[in-house]
């Protein structure tokens, strides 16, 4: 069996707080504190802020 090729440069991987861009580039999910309530749940970027789902609903018109 062969091992999968390892990435060049030592295999730097995304840390737990790095943004993860989806393939379509439309929405990013990040793992950090909400800018409004400091929740540590999955966040999205909305209105220039990183907010959790409940705060994002409050920002929507």
* pTM, two decimal places: 0.43
Quote the pLDDT of residue 13.
Answer: 54
For 31-61, b/e burial (b = at least 16 CB within 10 A) is beebbeeeeeeebbebeeebbbeebbeeeee
Query: pLDDT digit string (tens) for 31-51?
Result: 678 888 988 877 888 778 888
Domain assignment present for 54: yes
The count of structural domains within the chain is 1
Residue-range definition of the domain harbouring residue 46: 25-59
Instruction: Look at 15-24, 26-35, 39-48 and tell me which has the smallest mean pLDDT.
Output: 15-24
Domain assignment present for 34: yes
Domain assignment present for 46: yes
């Amino acid at each position: 069996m062969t091992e999968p090729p390892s990435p060049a440069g030592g295999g730097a991987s995304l840390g737990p707080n790095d943004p993860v861009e989806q393939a379509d580039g439309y929405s990013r999910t990040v793992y950090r504190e909400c800018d409004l309530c400091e929740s540590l749940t999955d966040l999205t970027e909305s209105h220039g802020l990183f907010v959790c789902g409940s705060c994002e609903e409050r920002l929507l018109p």
